[in-house]
Structure 1
Amino acid sequence: MATLHPAPRFTLIDGLKATLAKALGDHLLEANEAHGELLFTVKRESIEDALRILRDDHKYQQLMEIAGVDYPSRAERFEVVYMLLSLTANSRIIVKCSASEDTPVPTVTTLWPNAGWLEREVFDLYGVLFAGNTDLRRILTDYGFEGHPFRKDFPLTGYHELRYSEDEKRVVYEPVELAQDLRQFDFMSPWEGADYVLPGDEKADTPPVDKPKTTEKPSDTGAGAKTDKQATGKVGAGAPDEKDGGKGAPAPEPTEDRPARAARKGKVGGSAKATEPKKKPKAPAKRKPAAKKKDSE
């Protein structure tokens, strides 16, 4: 017997945007629908009340994730994004609010206990403060770490580096020394059009030459009948291998000034006999045993 689950198989968001927007009321700033998902932007000071309404009145029981986003060009550069899940309606929505470095966001640990870890992660990586979180400590970076790694103005190498010191027998922190400056960011994408000249683009505005160089006759390029005739000739003509060769040709001249060797003293055997292998002596023939005499003889 098949078991039917009360949750629908597919999320139906037709009319859901208007329903949730009406429920949020004055807490809501903007509601959008994109890529089959609903996104609600609420006031920062009302984030706890808005999420409580969604949890208690519309059955979004689970807080799946809290993420941070950094937009350095904005007045309130950070966005805190809350992702909610309704198990009974099989529906996911996204709720977000904006914040700056000195404007804390109300904590939602009063609604979901797991929000404590998620808020610590956003604080550690982005520097967003959460008012009411009693344990707002770093969770990913080391103790005493300075800065927030996911900010878009944070240098790629950090401000400090650590190494093990053999002299002090412990891990020490030292300022990062860079051979090339990587700490200047203009937040301008070269693909969208930078307001400065990129390396290699300084020749783009160079006007073309008035009269391009042309080769109107073969003599300008070195071509012609004379060059073709030389090209068809044999490159190695007159080489030593053509002059001295064949049967009865004299030996080539020596290439070294080494004096001649003195004649070898004593008898010199023939090289043929000296290099031939010695033949093994033949084994003596075996004698046949004599026949035994018969007793009658």
Structure 2
Amino acid sequence: MSQCGKRTERMQSVIKRAIGALGLVVVASTTAAEAQPMGGEAHLSIESTTDLSSMHAGETGLLAIDIIVQEGWHTYWPGISDTGYGISFDIDTPDSVELKDPIWPSPERYLQRGGILDHTYEGTQTVLVPFVIRENTPDSVVVFTIKANYLVCDQVCLPGKGSASTSLHVVDDASEQVQTSRYDELRAQLEQRPQAFNAKDAAVRLQWISKAAAIMFRDATRIEFYPDNECSELESVIEDGQAEGNRLEVRFTESENKVLSGRLRVTTPEGVVHYDINEHAL
């Protein structure tokens, strides 16, 4: 069977399992869905702020986007899930602002009946977006406008859109930078951001096998893996996405051109460390 055929067959299998698992839920929730006058906006909102309210040109700041999910509901991280699509943001800024890559919090595994696995966010989660005010930017007000697109689910799944905005002042070097009330919190979160996975680290080992990859962390007691959209197709994230101990083996559906890409959550006796991994088989 061709690779395309295998992918189609697997997708059909996932869809059938999703219908089987979710169909019962939808039937049981028809009355609630019909009574729901709004979409996802009733169950998820976004808010935004920055770590500085006044800052100098040439300096780096943090834009924080809070995803606030109603209790009992969940939304999806921007990686691979069996159902649902990841929350996304469109951030509009003036040309004086250079946005860096967003720093997404790690999701949780959400396993449903029928063998459906999603990677989700619940409660309040904060996405950090580092930015730089370009050199020689004159005194001015900088406005960040954020638009969100998402799916939020409980017994039913509802699409939604949201928006938020925040601003700061660019001041001359003779003026002091001013911190917001969340400065310490956001800077602490930045310090705990995921590290780049380094296969050459002495405490780490990455081994490519015919149709698999094995990751070992010397002091780990548990390893979890959340694949992103660049990851090659996996045999079973349910079975391979978590492991007790210091070794995790992930199986691929194909043996050629394997890419292991996503987020790792590694538990050690000292605490939890997160890694972003994007490794290609040689």
* Same fold? TM cut 0.5: no
TM-score norm. by structure 1 comes to 0.22
More contact order relative to length (CA 8 Å, sep ≥ 6): 2
Q: Which has the higher strand share?
A: 2
